[in-house]
Amino acid sequence: MSQLFSDMTLGPLKLSNRLVIAPMCQYSADHGRATDWHQMHIGNLAMSGAATVILEATAVSPEGRITPGCLGLWDDQTQQALVRPLQFARQHSDAKLLIQLAHAGRKASCAVPWESGRQLDPEQGGWQTVSASNLPFADTDRAPETLDGASIKQVCEEFKASTRRASQLGLDGVEIHAAHGYLLHQFLSPLSNKRTDEYGGSLENRMRLVLEVFKEVRSEAPPHMTVGVRISACDWVDGGWSLDESVSLCERLQQLGCDFIDVSSGGLSASQKIPLGPGYQLSLAHTIRQKTGVTTMAVGLITDPFQAEQALVSGQADMIAIARAALYEPRWGWHAAARLGAKLKAPPQYWRGAPAGHSDLFLK
C-alpha cells in the first residue's frame, strides 16, 4: 500500500493521505481581500488529490504584507472576502483547509514579482518596514524600524486576532510562518537580530518571539484546529541560523503543543548558498524528525511520486508538501495515485477522466 496515500492524523485532524499543497503567494488580493482569483485557485488546488491544502501566506496586518497584492486577515473586510472562496472549495472537496499566517517584517513593501519585486518607496504605494534590528534585507532597501516592546506585543496580538478570524471562517488549522527571512525568522537568525534585550543575543532570547506567537495562536485556536510552524531549518550562510538551533526550537514548540513542523530553508540573506537539487531539503526534515519525533512535512523540489513515496518509506518525513509542481499540474495527486497504485476521492463529474488501465482510481 502506498505510504503517500495512507491515512494519518495531524493533531486533531484525520487525513486520507499524506500529500499537502504548500502555501504559495498569488499576489492577487485587493487591499488584503481575496478576489475571484482566489476562488479559482483555492478551489482548483482543493481538487488536486491532496488531503491538505494550506492557503498562501496571509498577513496579520497591512504592514505585514510582502506586496500590496498579498492576502490578509486583519479585519472584517478581509475575513468576509475569504468566505466565498472557502465555501466554494468545501462544496466540491473534503480536503482540509489550513491558512498560513505571516508577517513579512523587513521583506515587506515590495512590488509583485512580475513588476520587479523590488522594495517600493512610499510614493509608489510602499510603507515603512519593521524588523528585529534596523538592518535592511538588501543594500538598496530602506532600513526597517526596530520593533520595541510594545510593538512586539502588538505583533503577538495580531497573530492571535487573525487566528480567531481563521477559526470563525471554519478553517481546519493554522501554520505560523517563521521561515524564508520574514519577521519571525528575522528574530531567530543572528544575521538579522542584533538586539541586546530579552529578544536578542542568546538562542533562548532569539526564539522568544516565535514561542510567544505560538502560545497566542495555540491559545486562540479551538481544539479541533491543528497548529504548526513553517521554519527555515538553516540560513545556508556561515554564522546564520543553524539546523541544530532548529532542532532546539522544534523541541520547545513540541512542548507547547505544536502539531507539525513544515521544514523549508533559506530566504534570510542574499549571501545564501543553497545546494539546489531534487529533494534538497529532505535531509533537514529527516534530522528534525529523527531528533524530536515531531510530525514533519518535507518540501522542496519534490516533483516525482516515487521520490515522494521513498521519502516517507525511508522515514525522512511524515508528510510531503508540493508547491510549484501543483501550479504546473493541478491534478498532481491524481497522477501520483495512478502511478503508485493507490485510490483517492474526486468529484463524480471527473470520474470519467481516469486514464486507461486505471478505471478504479477514484473511490466511489
SS3 13: strand
Convert the pLDDT of each residue in 131-161 to its tens digit. 999 999 999 999 999 999 999 999 999 999 9
* 36-46 vs 76-92: helix crossing angle, rounded to 10: 40
* Helix boundaries (H) for 93-233: 149-168, 183-188, 203-220
Q: What is the pLDDT, as a whole number, of residue 300?
A: 94
SS3 category, 201: coil
Residue 135 C-alpha cell reads as 538592518
Closest of 67, 183, 57 to residue 125, by C-alpha? 67
- C-alpha distances (whole Å) from 353 to each of 285, 359, 360 are 35, 9, 11
Extents of the domains making up the chain: 8-353
What percentage of residues in the chain have a pLDDT greater than 90?
98
Q: Torsion-angle region of residue 27: left (phi > 0), alpha (psi -120 to 50) or beta?
A: left
Residues in the chain predicted with pLDDT less than 50, given as ranges, are: none
Classify domain 8-353 at the CATH superfamily level. Answer: Aldolase class I (3.20.20.70)
Alpha-carbon span 207 to 59, nearest angstrom: 21
Name every residue whose Cβ is closer than 8 Å to that of residue 157 and which is 6 or more positions away in sequence: 216
C-alpha cell at 329: 499540474
Active-site residue among 27, 182, 280, 328?
182
Grid look-up 492571535 returns 160
DSSP string, 242-272: -HHHHHHHHHHHHHTT--EEEEE---S-TT-
Is 199 annotated as catalytic?
Answer: no
- Output the pLDDT for position 133: 98
Q: What pLDDT, on a 0 to 100 scale, did the predictor assign at position 364?
A: 85
Answer for the pair 264, 317: CB distance below 8 angstroms, yes or no.
no
What are 213's strand-pairing partners? none
What is the pLDDT at residue 149?
Answer: 97
| Cβ pair 284, 260 in contact under 8 A | no
Kind plus residue range of the DSSP H or E element containing 306: helix 305-313
The CA–CA distances, whole Å, from 92 to 102, 158, 314, 323, 349 equal 28, 32, 34, 21, 10
pTM: 0.97
pLDDT in tens, 158-184: 999 999 999 999 999 999 999 999 999
Confidence (pLDDT) at 303: 94
